[in-house]
Each structure stands twice: as C-alpha cells, then as structure tokens.
Amino acid sequence: MSTGRLGEGDTAVQQTIFDAKADLLTATAADTPARLAVGTNNHTLIADSSAATGLSYAAGSKATLTTTGDILYASSANTPARLGIGSSGQVLTVSGGIPGWATASSSSTFAGCRVYKSAAQSIPNATGTAITFNSEDFDTDNYHSTSTNTSRITIPAGKAGYYFITGRCYFGAVGSVKPFAASIIKNGTTNIGGIEIDSSVTYETGRQVSGISYLSVGDYVELYAYQETGGNFDVTQNNNRTMLAVGLLGA
C-alpha cells in the first residue's frame, strides 16, 4: 500500500461519506463507494445480493435468543426463530413440523383388560371350548365386548405390542381323577400357552396358563377349556375363578 498526497484529478473516498457512528464503507458497483448505516443492536451483517450495497443487517442467533433457555430453530428456510423454554418436566416434541414443548406422557399408563364369567359354561367332553366372558373387571381401551365375540380380547388401534396374557379355567370337583386342560389361543390358531393336568378328586380344579406374545392391531386371544370327565362339565364363574387378562408390556 502506497501513501502520499492525492494528485489533482485523483479519485478518493472522502471522509464526508461517513455520517454516523458505525457506518460502514461498501460499494454498490465497481468503483462506486457507498455508505451502509449500522443495523439494529445485536443484528449481524450478512451478504445480501438483493440489497444495493450487497450487504444488510439481519436478526441472527444473538438477536433471536432473548431469554435464558431459548432454543433456536428455523420457522422456514433461512428464518431463525425462538422457542422459549418449556415448563419443568415437559419434553421437546414436534407438532406441525416445528418443535414445541409438551407434557410428557406418564410411563406408568396402563393398557389392557381383564374379563371373567358371571355364569357357568358347559364344556362338552373331550372338546376344546372357547370360554365366553360376559363381565369385565377393567378394560382400558375397548379390548373386549360383552355382546359380540365375547370369547375374544382384541387389540385396538394404537395398542400393538408385546403383551402378557394370562387365563384361568376353574372347574368343580370331580369324583375321580380326570384330565383337565386350558390353552390361550391367538387368532383361533396359534397356541400361546397351554397346560393339561389331572384333577384332584377332592377339590375344585383350576388351570392357570400364561404367555408373552407380540399382538398386532386386530389380533385376538381366547381361552380354551378342555376336560375328559365323560360328560358335559362346567367351568365355574366369579371374578376370582374363570378369567382372561392381557396387559401391554411395551411396543
């Protein structure tokens, strides 16, 4: 860089081009100096081909983030926006394509149902028989109906996942040792769990079965009872006797 006096006819930037504190010297074209006034506090200088000087001030991260806990995101292309801090315990979620704070769902929310019989059901000899259930202990999401397909617990929309399934067939006492069995059947075909044990001759006979299975929306499970007394034989009723229950363990 050379220094010295300007000669006559020389072109130089005159100091009068600056009018205010923080003015910048730029150019609107080749050999065309121009003044750029300072922008708003905390705005940043960006290249801007749409501006005459090719430069402009715009709100950047420092101008956008105004409060402790603020989060910077883009509300559209090249448009920074501020998301204020949420409340204690809230979690960051997405709604409508932008981030937001929401109350966390409780991890202890339970889904499932437990159904039982309030009347006895006759089981034919040596015939696996689906138990129908006319009473519900609880049913969080309409897994079961007491009017249609009452033998079934059906997985409702949004509740697919791994389930713990348990069922119990309770029979009356018999006069001699006979085989009794219970099975949990998925979609009418797949045996999830079953047990067959000879009865006692003194006490009522209960058969408890359980299993864990992945159940998709629309899948259903049923409890089947089986006995070989030679005649029809009842499974007995009440909440603590013949029942079927499912509980969602996780997706």
Instruction: Tell me which residues touch another protein (CB under 8 A).
Output: 124-130, 132, 149-152, 172-176, 181, 183, 185, 188-189, 191, 194, 196, 201-202, 222, 224, 226, 228-233
How far apart are CB 171 and another protein at their closest, in Å?
11
Q: Which structure tokens are listed for 199?
A: 């009865």
C-beta separation of 98 from 75 below 8 A: yes
Residue whose CB is less far from another protein, 39 or 206? 206
How far apart are CB 215 and another protein at their closest, in Å?
17
Dihedral angle, C-alpha 102, 107, 112, 116, nearest 10 °: -130
- C-alpha 213/C-alpha 186 separation (Å) is 9
Residue whose CB is less far from another protein, 83 or 153? 153
DSSP H or E run through 28: strand 24-29
How far apart are CB 75 and another protein at their closest, in Å?
55
Residue whose CB is less far from another protein, 81 or 130? 130
Q: Are strands 55-59 and 71-76 parallel, antiparallel or unpaired?
A: unpaired
**Residue type (1 letter), 142:** N
Residue whose CB is less far from another protein, 75 or 125? 125
C-beta separation of 248 from 159 below 8 A: yes
Residue whose CB is less far from another protein, 132 or 213? 132
How far apart are CB 173 and another protein at their closest, in Å?
4
How far apart are CB 205 and another protein at their closest, in Å?
11
- C-alpha 177/C-alpha 67 separation (Å) is 78
